[in-house]
Chain A
């Protein structure tokens, strides 16, 4: 009995690994990935402009790490990770339906759960790479003259970790949405730039219905400064609880995605 269970676990893991490598290769080659790589580099270009402004126009009243933190808050947390998670998460299922390639996968000896999780992991790794490369470049550009200060690297690590957690969590949500809603991008846009942007500013525990609340709870709250309005009314959840919540949300949405994909009937339009 025990032996059978181990064999089953191994088969699930190896199927997961095989699906992951198949879609990681495919994802790397896809045109969409190249387009989103360019998009994720917009903050890098902005960072270059800011740095040139500081160097050549001698407008150096703001420190590099201050600008970097605000880049994380405005560009990455509120925009880039949402867009990347939305387009890659929903496509875990919908690109198979739109491209009519689903029969190649559902007629293989891999469980539907390992397909969803393997493809989710492959796409999440792709977008994590895109984001982390951009963030690191921004950090180096903006802190060009302070690279010897080791305390700054702690901030880089913390901010990157928050963004990675955000990507993991949002992608799981959009993977789930993609398994059962046809126009999942539209729904995702409304969720990302409607719900998430509004609910996080609600007072009391209502703001905990937004994923971004838990991400912001992991970042220090600036009491003043140009972008402090983004943390307006934030009643942070303790960091440990915030991480636990993000992990639970991810697990719940991935579990739901697997259940829906297993039982829903997908009819490919002829």
Chain B
């Protein structure tokens, strides 16, 4: 398949701070997930490929054309920024139609497209309210609406699921998938692995400004699954429950030093641990209060993968 977005040796510094280093990528049609912890360089990468900032070294080409100061290219690109920023005094309708106008479309087309985009994100009823009165979720959906309203071929979404409730997330994920089915190229950034996992198998792992891995999500999953996990269990009679785990091979150690009623298990087989856990609770007649995974976040995984 032909690459829609091509970057070569892309590097960016902000003074002495490295934003992105030597990124060479070919992004094809479909959904590509850009995954990395906060501050990894995801937004820098997206700003570079949308020409908002210029690279110190390297180049970006979209459909074979350079991006920076090539405004004509933006009729084919939709961008949803990460920051929660709007023209607060405008209504949702004015915001979307106003930005659509900048695409030089006839007014009948603008109204049609704005209505469609606001309908897709369930904002049609609230379109005449001022943006400053919108909830966080509504604002996030409005940001998405302005990105898709002109029906671009390429969609670049910077943390689009932030601030959405679970239902909103599910809807948006379904919508992004439907855009992929229409043959569009979608780049979605996130620091939450399950969010990306729900949308695509093609991911780019980015960390400290460098591409750490690129390819199928299952490869990443395998890496993560071999990473020892910490699981914190809060329950009644924690010592009795913990004693049942001690003899199991998949448990590396158990720590009682944290809170009262809590023990932390370090395991190298998370699936096995979670299969076993409910049985023990039932057999020991223990009340479960909370199960959390303190290191089940991308930063911990990255730290593990790079050997920190």
Main secondary structure of the interface of A (DSSP, over half): helix
B53 touches A101 (CB 8 A): no
How far is B78's CA from A109's CA once the two chains are assembled, in angstroms? Answer: 11
Contact partner of B71 (CB less than 8 A), chosen from A22, A29, A102, A108, is A108
Contact partner of A265 (CB less than 8 A), chosen from B54, B78, B83, B99, is B54
Asked whether A5 is an interface residue with its Cβ less than 8 Å from the other chain, the reply is: no
Asked whether A18 is an interface residue with its Cβ less than 8 Å from the other chain, the reply is: yes
Tell me which residues from 5 to 35 in chain A have a Cβ below 8 Å from any Cβ of chain B: 11, 14-15, 18-19, 21-22, 25-26, 29-31
How far is B130's CA from A25's CA once the two chains are assembled, in angstroms? Answer: 13
- Taking residues whose C-beta sits less than 8 angstroms from the other chain, chain A's interface range is 20 to 34
How far is B83's CA from A97's CA once the two chains are assembled, in angstroms? Answer: 12
Asked whether A137 is an interface residue with its Cβ less than 8 Å from the other chain, the reply is: no
Asked whether A213 is an interface residue with its Cβ less than 8 Å from the other chain, the reply is: no
Asked whether B189 is an interface residue with its Cβ less than 8 Å from the other chain, the reply is: no
Using A108-B71, A108-B74, A109-B102 as known contacts, say yes or no to A103 and B89 having CB atoms under 8 A apart.
no
Using A25-B94, A25-B98, A101-B87 as known contacts, say yes or no to A109 and B52 having CB atoms under 8 A apart.
no
Asked whether B108 is an interface residue with its Cβ less than 8 Å from the other chain, the reply is: no
Please tell me the number of chain B residues within 8 Å of chain A, measured between CB atoms.
32
Asked whether B81 is an interface residue with its Cβ less than 8 Å from the other chain, the reply is: yes
B90 touches A109 (CB 8 A): no
Closest chain A residue, CB of each to CB of B78: A107
Tell me which residues from 143 to 188 in chain A have a Cβ below 8 Å from any Cβ of chain B: none
How far is B95's CA from A29's CA once the two chains are assembled, in angstroms? Answer: 13
Could you pull out 18 A-B pairs where Cβ atoms are within 8 angstroms?
A: A15-B102, A19-B102, A22-B98, A31-B89, A99-B87, A100-B81, A100-B85, A101-B86, A101-B87, A103-B47, A103-B81, A104-B81, A104-B99, A105-B102, A107-B77, A107-B78, A108-B99, A266-B52
Given contacts A99-B87, A103-B47, 16 further A-B contacts (CB under 8 A): A14-B104, A22-B102, A25-B94, A26-B87, A29-B89, A31-B89, A101-B86, A102-B52, A104-B99, A106-B52, A108-B71, A108-B74, A108-B102, A109-B103, A262-B69, A270-B83
Interface residues of B (CB under 8 A from A): 14, 43, 47, 50-54, 69, 71-75, 77-79, 81, 83, 85-87, 89-90, 94, 98-99, 101-104, 146
The 8 closest A-B pairs by CB, nearest first: A100-B85, A107-B79, A108-B102, A29-B89, A109-B75, A18-B101, A22-B98, A103-B81
